[in-house]
Amino acid sequence: MILGAGMTGLAAGWASGLPVYEAEQSPGGICSSYYMRPGTEDRLHEAPTDGEGYRFEIGGGHWIFGGDPLVLQFIQSLTPVQQYFRKSAVFFPDTRLAVPYPIQNSLKYLDPQTAQAALCEMADAALRPQPAVTMADWLRNSFGKTLDELFFRPFHDLYTSGLCDKIAPQDAYKSPVSLPTAIQGAFNATAAAGYNTTFIYPKEGLNALASRMASRCIAHYGKRVTNIDVRRRAVMFADGSGASYEFLISTLPLNRMMTLTGLKAVARPDPSPAVLVMNIGARRGPQCPLEHWVYIPSSKARFHRVGFYSNVDASFLPASGCHANDRVSIYVEKSYPEGSKPSPSEMRSLGQSIAQELQEWGWIDGTEVIDPTWIDTAYTWSLPGSKWKLEALRLLEEQRIFQVGRYARWTFQGIADSIRDGFVAGSAAGAVLAQGTGA
């Protein structure tokens, strides 16, 4: 059996024919779209027939970047997609300065003194590389004191929920280091850099992709796992039902699977901050950015990124706002330490505070929808020298439980790679079953 009907689980179910058990009432996991009419609080799984609804996503903007060409062909065989060229920036609220991302390649947008200091420090770092134990070490050693204090450290403190000086260096591909490019960017424009310079997105939303994948699966919804008995090889669900398994493909986060199975690793578990995604439908403000998303190193409400669904595609807006260009569909991300989920009233209050701050910046001019979504395991960080992931995966595999996908294997990858991993695991599972039955 397969646990989780996100993109990985759906691909595994498609390839293997095994039943897929999903906690929610619809497929897609955090990579799923939903709709809300202006002035309402009800989420709709399908777009309103008159088109008058904002489209949001459960986990914020999940754009499909990279990936195996065959996987991308598979996605396009299920739903039409559009390709985009990334537009992103760093925004400093105190000065209202916007700098194209990545900031280290756009030094000409900073004042000359700051740009000169940053360039000298990056050159010194390149000539005299220093070892780094933590992410905080790596950022300062790579970009120097000036850029670290201006952007990298405050942003990553928010992004990692205060873990920057405790976790191992990760995500280097998200902050590319190139001294020649930095020198060029101090005087001229530079080419786009990073892992997501281009991306695709289904024209009908991620829910269309998830639904069409699910239509080829044996999927059971409303099946939230409460316990896994590894000795009896049985899974218990919150609705009182259960199911046995010969082997288990799990796409659930690795830390949650360790809790559900009761297995204990000797190593200290790696941290996994949560994230609150505040989806907002609003009137467009006079200073509303044109970027797809913007990184924020400081904000009164302590959010670290604002994404603009409707700057990617106008179909995220109510039909009446698609051509008028007077509305905007936004997601705002704020990280939290593990186990610190705010109450519903706190979320409502925070939503109002975020909207007020965006209005002060001139990005919006009055809201029509504010809707929070909560992701318990949003980021998968590792402690320096940690062996927890390898130990946890081994303990589960000894019990014939195989973790597949981004959160299950405690790594970072996009939707396309998650679908690929699901197909690989599902195909292998199908082959094992066929061999076992003599087929």
Q: How confident is the model at residue 368 (pLDDT cuts 50, 70, 90)?
A: very high
Residue-level pLDDT at 438: 46
Whether the Cβ atoms of residue 206 and residue 129 lie closer than 8 Å to each other: no
Three-state SS at 321:
helix
Whether the Cβ atoms of residue 180 and residue 127 lie closer than 8 Å to each other: no
Residue-level pLDDT at 419: 97
Mean pLDDT, range 310-320, rounded to an integer: 94
Whether the Cβ atoms of residue 402 and residue 396 lie closer than 8 Å to each other: yes
Mean pLDDT, range 75-84, rounded to an integer: 96
The helix or strand, by DSSP H or E, that contains position 98, with its residue range, turns out to be strand 97-100
Instruction: Give Cβ neighbours of residue 382 (< 8 Å, ≥ 6 apart).
Output: 167, 168, 170, 270, 388, 389, 410
Least confident range from 8-22, 148-162, 163-177, 237-251: namely 163-177
Q: How many CB atoms lie within 10 A of CB 330?
A: 31
Residue-level pLDDT at 439: 44
Q: From CA 400, how far away is CA 78, in angstroms rounded? A: 32
- DSSP strand E in 304-439: where? 305-308, 327-336, 364-375, 401-403
pLDDT of residue 194 exceeding 90, the answer is no
Mean pLDDT, range 320-339, rounded to an integer: 92
117-175: per-residue pLDDT in tens? 999 999 999 999 999 999 999 999 999 999 999 999 999 999 999 999 999 998 777 88
Mean pLDDT, range 396-400, rounded to an integer: 97
Domain boundaries, the chain: 2-44+73-81+203-267+387-436, 103-185
Q: From CA 412, how far away is CA 382, in angstroms rounded? A: 12
Q: From CA 401, how far away is CA 405, in angstroms rounded? A: 13
Q: From CA 342, how far away is CA 248, in angstroms rounded? A: 33
Residue 369 is given by DSSP the state E
pLDDT of residue 364 exceeding 60, the answer is yes
* Class of CATH domain 2-44+73-81+203-267+387-436: alpha beta
Residue-level pLDDT at 321: 84
| Averaged pLDDT score across all residues of the chain | 95
Whether the Cβ atoms of residue 221 and residue 24 lie closer than 8 Å to each other: yes
Whether the Cβ atoms of residue 208 and residue 177 lie closer than 8 Å to each other: no
Q: How many CB atoms lie within 10 A of CB 385?
A: 8
Q: From CA 348, how far away is CA 354, in angstroms rounded? A: 10
Instruction: Give Cβ neighbours of residue 138 (< 8 Å, ≥ 6 apart).
Output: 132, 169, 172
pLDDT of residue 234 exceeding 70, the answer is yes
CA angle 99, 100, 105 (to 5 degrees): 100
The helix or strand, by DSSP H or E, that contains position 209, with its residue range, turns out to be helix 206-214
Whether the Cβ atoms of residue 239 and residue 117 lie closer than 8 Å to each other: no
The closest of 243, 261, 209 to 21, measured between CA atoms, is 243
The pLDDT > 90 percentage for the chain reads: 91
pLDDT of residue 327 exceeding 80, the answer is yes
Q: How confident is the model at residue 437 (pLDDT cuts 50, 70, 90)?
A: low
259-308: per-residue pLDDT in tens? 999 999 999 999 999 999 999 999 999 999 999 999 999 999 999 999 99
User: In the structure encoding, which two tokens stand for residue 12, read together?
Assistant: 């595994």
Three-state SS at 419:
helix
